[in-house]
Structure 1
Amino acid sequence: MTIRPMKFTPEVLLGAPRRSPALPNAAGTLAVYTQTSYSFESHSKTNEIRVLEIATGRSALITNDPGASSPRWLDNTDQLVWLKEKANGNTSFIVGDAREADKTYTAGTVPGPVSDLKMTVIEPGKIGFAVTGKANADGSLFNPHDAKKPLSTGRVFTSLFVRHWDSYIEPQKNAIWYGVLQRTPLAPASRQAGKYSLSGLTNLIAVSGLAGVESPIPPFGGTGDFDLSPTAIVFVARDPEVSPATHTACACYYCPMFSWTGLSTAQQQEDVKIHRVSKLDGAMSSPVLSSDGGSLAVLVMQEDGYESDKNRIMYVPNPWNGELVEIFESPDGRGLWDLSPSAISFASDDQSLLIQVEETGRGVLYQLSLENFRRAIPKDLKKLTLSGYVNDVTPAAANSSKLFISSSSLVDNSTWTIIDPANPREVQLVSSNSRHGAAFGLSPHQVDETWFKGANDHPVHAWVVKPSNFKPGEKYPLAYLIHGGPQGAWNDQWSTRWNPAVFAEQGYVVITPNPTGSTGYGQDFTDAIKGSWGGLPYIDIQKGFEHIEKNLNYVDTSRAVALGASYGGFMVNWMQGHSLGRKFKALVTHDGIFNLTNALASEEQYFPLHDLEGPFWKKPENWDRWDPARFTQNWETPHLIIHNELDYRLPISDGLGAFNVLQMRGVESAFLTFPDENHWVLKPENSLVWHQTVLNWINKYVGLPPISKGNNFLADQQTEVDPGVAGLSLQ
């Protein structure tokens, strides 16, 4: 099927199919995944579970039930199980065959909403599973459909949090629940013979006697906060003894699953192993178990109260004796490896760890043998990927050394590949959702990178994204994008919220600097932003602009705009009050800080406490020094302010304050808000308005035409559709 040319617009970005990481079956022949898409013609969302035939790339629909999620393979068969949320809030476990999608049955139903299904084979025909869901104060599963509506909306709080991310704190807490899917014997013959049935749910945290413990960790915790094996479940949680608003300290809990092996659950309370690391007091993440549950690994930060401290890899050879070994430990406590892993897992043979980490603007996969784990050094790491951003890695088949990798890039929203760690340069492409960007009218040739000297002459990296119709010798206006965090980075990675290619296709050269404070360039570079919010990063960004002026002759810096969100919004507000702000024709701030004192109304107070080196009443000079509101007498560049009402991280008063100043000063300005969005704009129709408003604002000031409307991803696509996108049936 071939279709006519198209342009990569916000409608294309937001309407294109979004695929989850794919999970291969035991034979390595099929891979299951979820896919969502949105139609701006019907104003409706499609949710699908699909199966890909790895050898041919053909994709088949399993279900398009809007409540279906978390598909997993059952045992060593082509059978699947997934969760289905029902209208009454209950959740059913649905079993179906990957090659006969119409043959499904319900294995059981639990009385509330659950998600994040993970499974492990205890023995043939007996599958242990874990899910997550809210728990009532008595430990039972919470179902909001059963909750009685109070007569008053009043709430009284006596401790932090009051609200977190985009909601007020409720008495119900996250919990991990476990159970068993048991297959009925084939004989004697009956309607249920050979089918799986659900045992019910048990609250792991409650049965383990862990008072005050909540996991997954709010607000973004999920499957990455726990793992399971035939003999144990491991999970991480915030330390219940300290306030989560001012501390990041965590503990790792190893829970032997005696109920899966026939022993009493009472013994489980006695044998839960709590792993804390006395010299590492910070956050924990990515707990993983070996295939038999006999060892575990977890990422741990050193400093309590610092969410962007370096993750250290802790290996526990035997959870029962409590020994924890820090991989790459050094005598000075800094660690031999300067990078901060984001996720880890065991290889299928349990003899090595697979490590995902940000490195110079990419999401890289490494492998580390555990043969010499006590004396491991960074040189022992084997680099398995070179480009793009790895989102997930799993064995390509049961007991296989080959790896199935899900990744993305600046021009491709989903790529699946298979590599053999023995020869990682030979990459087998399984599927590219956009045919390496071609389905979006994009190409890897649009992407470049540049380095320049920042403050104190340290090297600073930036991505450069050009229009698809770029012509050498012509000059293009500059879109200078400032990332949030501030401990974050622009990476070779797809995004549906801040996608550089959307700006490039308007006719900009998009440049995304990673200044001081950015991640992936060594921990010292990340840490250097502490106490210097408007200092070193601002100088880096300023020097980056000078580098563009002097060295990139295809960029017209006399027609430049700057945009940023969160800390990036702070920096745009800071630039507005300083000399760099006069270099731009227009500015855009999304949910940015205007008045630093207002950060006292935020929820995670450990964030400003760390970065500003203390509380306001002890370090008022730091809070005052980097306050953008102090420089409003200089504000004069046209400025679009965006701020959402459900943003409790940076309250809407910051956006209103900035807009009020601009209006009172007579500066051309506009204010966009979404009452139903948080720190991000996630709803497709809202996001489309966001993109149209932002692009029309900046285009007006650099002489580009207003953004066009009405493009349709499915109708206006240019190239032959990838089978994984088209959704062909398996043959």
Structure 2
Amino acid sequence: MMTIQASRFTPEVLLSAPRRSASIPNSTGELALYTVSSYSFETHAKTSQIRVLNINDGSSHLVSEDAAAGEPIWIGETEVAFIKNGDNGCSMLLSQDVYDKSTAPHMIHYFAGSISNPKVKVLSSDKVAFVCSALTTPDGDMYWPAAETKSYTSAKIYTGLFVRHWDAWNTANQNSLWYGLIVKRDDKWTLEHPGLTNLLAGTRLSSPVAPFGGTGDFDVSASGVAFVSKDPELNPARHTKTDLYYVPIKSWTEKPSTPQLVKTGRLRGYSLSPAFSSDGRQIVFARMRSEQYESDKTRLLLLPDVTDLSNVQEFYETKDGEGGWDLRPDWAVWGKDDKVLYVAAELHGRMVLWEVPASPLEATHLPQAIHEDGCVIEARILGGSTSLLISSKSRIESSSYSILNPEKRSIKEISTSSKHGKSFGLSKSQCSEIWYPGSEGYNNHALVMTPSGFDSSKKYPLAFLIHGGPQSAWTDDWSTRWNPAIFAEQGYVVVCPNPIGSTGYGQAHVDAITENWGGGPYKDLVKCFEYLEKEVKYVDTDRAVALGASYGGYMINWIQGHDLGRKFKALVCHDGVFSTQNQWATEELFFPEHDFGGTLWENRSGYEKWDPSKHTGQWATPQLVIHNELDYRLPISEGLSMFNVLQARGVPSKFVMFPDENHWVLKPENSLVWHREVLEWINKYSGISDETKLESRTGKLTV
């Protein structure tokens, strides 16, 4: 793949650049499988490839460039299987040798339905246990749209909670896991009779957990499947509880036994990321304590023996139940010989990889960080070695593959997006961070990004980015939606603060935002702005703009009605909250119940206290409002209300709506419009547009 140097990092460059998946090594650790996709604004079309990386020399070669093919997995040392979506909601499972380009991919099986999230366990050179997910009917059949009886009405009728989720109206169909045995006969792979079997038929369980669940919600061993599912006895609109289940499987061609619940005592919240040890006898996973709080602290747990599901051990357990490690493990992988675990947990704006003994009894000291650069997306053991293949991202690299030696703490870069794709012209010198006095007596953290060609003796207008969540954080990561470099390359110093409510700074910092939406977080943002005013000489706070989405959009509206709002030349609110008293129009009701201290009728004062709409009489700063029709988390009436108030008050404002986007803007053409509207708005009010015109007339601007 030829490296292309961008003359300037623009939205077009960001959105058209190749996007690579995490890489998956084969059994020998010599090859790694990944996908790459890109979008052309000239042809208005997306292209996608399946490629194989040579880990020894960093070279790669093409396996498939079928736009309908994806989700590749290894089924042999040089053989892969992948899914191809067909017509009428059908799909195919295909196989191919990564070195054989003389023949077309071989069809393993054709499905009347759409399968996804494939995962395998190689049993022998000619047998592979295969598990995938598919939308499934209440009768337990794979859902096939073509088999539906035609309806002459569009009515949707509900008698219970949870009528829609994220961007879709709920139906009786649910995700289910399906399994089967792939065998090799006469040098061809085929799906053994009876094909795929529904693992969850008749159980009322569903996995992966919608809307974002994938292969991380289940794992496969030679003799069983572990998966997480919502508790069918609790309404998912008001509860976060997901349990871990184990299903022993004697034969991959026979009907399964009943899923068995893994008991975790007082821990009753989200369960996530189950992973079998190499022998299939142990499972490591994570779980939260509260069943109505999506941002509770996760605890790292071990099931030492799948034959005893009541014996679950917690790493760093304490008598008070708070846990001795004040970070939030996200996922874990087993090291060589199952002696050690490598655990991903966020710390200070980075997704760090940590080393932990594989037994809680041996974990007497807190974990050691073994990889702290950027954000680790995945880690995989390389063959039979102790080394790890790391897939990561950062603010300047959309994708990086490297080999980590945990014993030596050494890292060897294999392939980066800038070497095997499009070079963005960005450098580490543009990335820094600050710690500033927070409102609670301890320092808060913010990531900073400066323009390329930055000169500290000059002043640059401030782009103040406020993250969503609110229990989330700005991290040293890559994004095609909120990318700090896009704003920096316009000529801003970009500051991304992580105030109260942000993850990666201990659970108390996260929990402090509860029933405090416009309190501590707002004060922390004020403190950050004041610190920039007084201490950072190259930031021009007189030409500052602020932008935020979701909770960040809420905070834009809160700022608009308070003193900090007058410090900014312009504001941008994407899919934000106009009134906290409208929070019961959302779909996941456990969220407002937790964050506002109960239901609307039990604690209306808690909702009223932090309502931005109560302060609309002070709204005066020019504001761009963006809201999407398919956003069921924050319905479009929130955006319309903001715009109507701004217009009625005579405040310069603009409303941008995407009828085919949800809480995010994902379609490349729409995203390009989003970026152009946002940049045009802030550049106009910060004065950057005037500078650009002047430089263009004097011939100093290079595009």
AA aligned opposite 1:382: Q
| 1:189-213 Cα deviation digits (max 9, x unpaired) | xxxx12111121100011xx42x21
Q: Distance in 2 between matches of 1:647 and 1:215?
A: 23
Superposed displacement of residue 61, structure 1: 1.3
Match of 1:296 in 2: 283
Q: Does 1:287 align with 2:274?
A: yes
Deviation string 1:565-603 (CA, Å, 9 cap, x unpaired) is 000000000000000000000000000000111111100
> Which amino acid in 2 is paired with 1:194?
D
**Residues 57 and 67 of structure 1: is their aligned pair in 2 closer, same or farther, counting only changes over 3 Å?**
same
> For residue 199 of structure 2, what is the aligned residue in structure 1?
204
Partner of 1:448, secondary structure, is strand
Tell me, in whole angstroms, the C-alpha distance in 2 between the residues paired with 1:157 and 1:134. Answer: 20
1:631 counterpart (615, 628, 647): 615
Amino acid at match of 2:97: D
Give how far 1:251 is off.
Answer: 1.2
**Residues 574 and 421 of structure 1, relative CA distance in 2, 3 Å threshold:** same
Letter in 1 for 2:83: L
Equivalent residue number for residue 222 of structure 1 = 214
1:413 paired residue among 398, 401, 410: 398
Verify the 8 A CA contact 1:479 1:562 in the aligned structure 2.
Answer: yes
Q: Deviations over 1:115-141 (max 9, x none)?
A: 111110123311001001001111010
What's 1:83 paired with? Answer: 83
Equivalence for 2:232: 240
**2:580 pairs with 1:596:** yes
2:375 corresponds to:
389
Residues 69-125 of structure 1, C-alpha deviations (whole Å, 9 max, x = no match):
1111123x2111111111132221111111123432112222210011111012331
Output the amino acid matched with 2:232.
P
SS in structure 2 of the partner of residue 594 of structure 1: coil
Q: Report the equivalent of 2:255.
A: 265
What corresponds to 1:320 in structure 2? 307
Alignment of 1:489-508 (within 5 A): 489-508=473-492
Alignment partner, residue 178 of structure 1: 179
Residue type at the aligned position of 1:252: L
Question: Are 1:111 and 2:127 counterparts?
Answer: no
Shift of 1:27: 1.8
Tell me the CA shift for residue 375 of structure 1: 5.2
Three-state SS of the structure 2 residue aligned to 1:526 is helix
What does residue 696 of structure 2 align with?
none
User: Following TM superposition, by how much is the alpha carbon of 1:604 offset from its aligned partner in structure 2, in angstroms?
Assistant: 0.2
Instruction: Supply the distance in 1 between the matched residues of 2:6 and 2:207 (Cα, whole angstroms).
Output: 48
Please name the residue that 2:559 is paired with.
575
Give the equivalent residue in structure 1 for 2:669. 685
Residue of structure 2 in register with 1:360 after alignment: 348
Question: Which residue is equivalent to 1:342?
Answer: 330
Q: 2:698 maps to which residue?
A: none
Given the alignment, which residue of 635, 639, 658 partners 1:674?
Answer: 658
Q: What amino acid sits opposite 1:88 in the alignment?
A: N
Distance 1:11 1:620, change over 3 A: same
**Are 1:63 and 1:101, in contact at CA under 8 Å, matched by a contact in 2?**
no
Query: What is the match of residue 263 of structure 2?
Result: 276
Counterpart in the other structure of 1:24: 25
TM-score relative to the length of structure 1: 0.92
Give the match's secondary structure for 1:258.
coil
Instruction: Indicate the residue corresponding to 1:516 in structure 2.
Output: 500
Q: What is the alpha-carbon distance in structure 2 between the residues aligned to residue 29 and residue 296 of structure 1?
A: 27
The 5-angstrom pairing of residues 123-162 of structure 1 reads 123-162=124-163
- Does 2:363 align with 1:376? yes
102 and 457 in structure 1: CA distance in 2 versus 1, 3 angstrom threshold: farther
* Residue 700 of structure 1, aligned match among 679, 684, 702: 684
Query: Which amino acid letter does the alignment assign opposite residue 278 of structure 1?
Result: G
Distance 2:578 2:278 in 1: 50
CA distance in 2, matches of 1:674, 1:574: 24
CA deviation map 1:445-466 (0-9, x unaligned): 1000000011122210000100
1:289–1:295 Cα contact (<8 Å) kept: yes
CA distance in 2, matches of 1:223, 1:553: 47
**Partner of 1:647 in structure 2?**
631
The offset of 1:438, in angstroms, is: 8.3
Aligned-partner SS, 1:614: coil
Partners of 1:409 and 1:382 in 2: CA distance: 21
Which amino acid counterpart does residue 381 of structure 2 have in structure 1? P
- 2:241 corresponding residue in structure 1: 249
Any conservation in 2 of the 1:478–1:508 contact (CA below 8 Å)? Answer: yes
Aligned equivalents of 2:154, 2:657: Cα separation in 1: 25
SS in 2 for 1:248: coil
Q: Look up the equivalent residue of 2:593 and give its one-letter code.
A: L
Asked whether the 8 Å contact 2:3–2:420 carries over to 1, the reply is no
User: 1:707 Cα shift?
Assistant: 12
Whether the 8 Å CA contact 1:328–1:375 is kept in 2: the answer is no
Instruction: Report the count of equivalent residues.
Output: 689
Q: Does the 8 Å contact 1:411/1:437 carry over to 2?
A: no
Report what 1:729 is aligned to.
none
Structure 1 residue identity aligned to 2:229: A
AA at the equivalent of 1:134: L
Q: Which amino acid aligns with 1:306?
A: Y
Q: What is the Cα deviation at residue 229 of structure 1?
A: 0.7
Shift of 1:347: 2.0
For 2:595 and 2:382, locate their aligned partners in 1 and report how far apart those are by CA, in whole Å.
42
- 62 and 391 in structure 1: CA distance in 2 versus 1, 3 angstrom threshold: same
Change (3 A) 1:292 1:375: closer
Q: Which residue of 1 aligns with 2:56?
A: 55
Query: SS of the counterpart of 1:387?
Result: coil
In structure 2, the residue matched to 1:195 is 188
Structure 1 residue aligned with 2:697: none
Structure 2 Cα separation of the partners of residues 265 and 142 of structure 1 = 19
- Aligned AA for 1:308? S
| Map of 1:611 onto structure 2 | 595
Q: CA deviation at 1:378?
A: 4.3
TM-score, scaled relative to structure 2: 0.96
SS at match of 1:575: helix
Task: Label 1:368 to 1:92 Cα distance change in 2 as closer, same or farther (>3 A).
Answer: same
- Equivalent of 1:470 in 426, 436, 454: 454
Distance 1:53 1:635, change over 3 A: same
Give the Cα–Cα distance (whole angstroms) in 2 for the partners of residues 132 and 69 of structure 1.
Answer: 14
> How far is 1:436 from its partner?
10
Per-residue Cα deviation, 1:34-74 (whole angstroms, up to 9, x for no partner): 11100011111001111111222222111111211111112
Q: Deviations over 1:486-538 (max 9, x none)?
A: 00000000011000000000000000000000000001100110110000000
Code of the residue aligned with 2:24 in structure 1: it is: L
Q: Give, in angstroms, the shift of residue 4 of structure 1.
A: 6.6
Quote the Cα distance in structure 2 between the aligned partners of 1:708 and 1:33. 40
The structural deviation recorded for 1:287 is 1.1
Which runs of 5 or more structure 1 residues have no equivalent in the other structure?
185-192, 710-717, 719-731
Q: SS at 2:337's partner residue? A: coil
Q: Please say if residues 580 and 607 of structure 2, whose CA atoms lie closer than 8 Å, have aligned partners that are also in contact.
A: yes
Amino acid at match of 1:421: P
**How many Å apart are 1:24 and its aligned residue?**
1.2
Question: Residue 188 of structure 1 corresponds to which residue in structure 2?
Answer: none
Query: Is residue 311 from structure 1 mapped to residue 303 from structure 2 by the alignment?
Result: no
> 1:702-728 CA deviation, whole Å, 9 max, x = no partner?
11128999xxxxxxxx9xxxxxxxxxx
What is the distance in 2 between the residues matched to 1:175 and 1:586?
A: 47
Question: Cα deviation per residue 1:659-705 (whole Å; 9 max; x = unaligned)?
Answer: 00000000000000100000000000000000000000000001112
Deviation at 1:374, TM superposition (A): 2.5
* Maintained 8 Å contact 1:650/1:679: yes
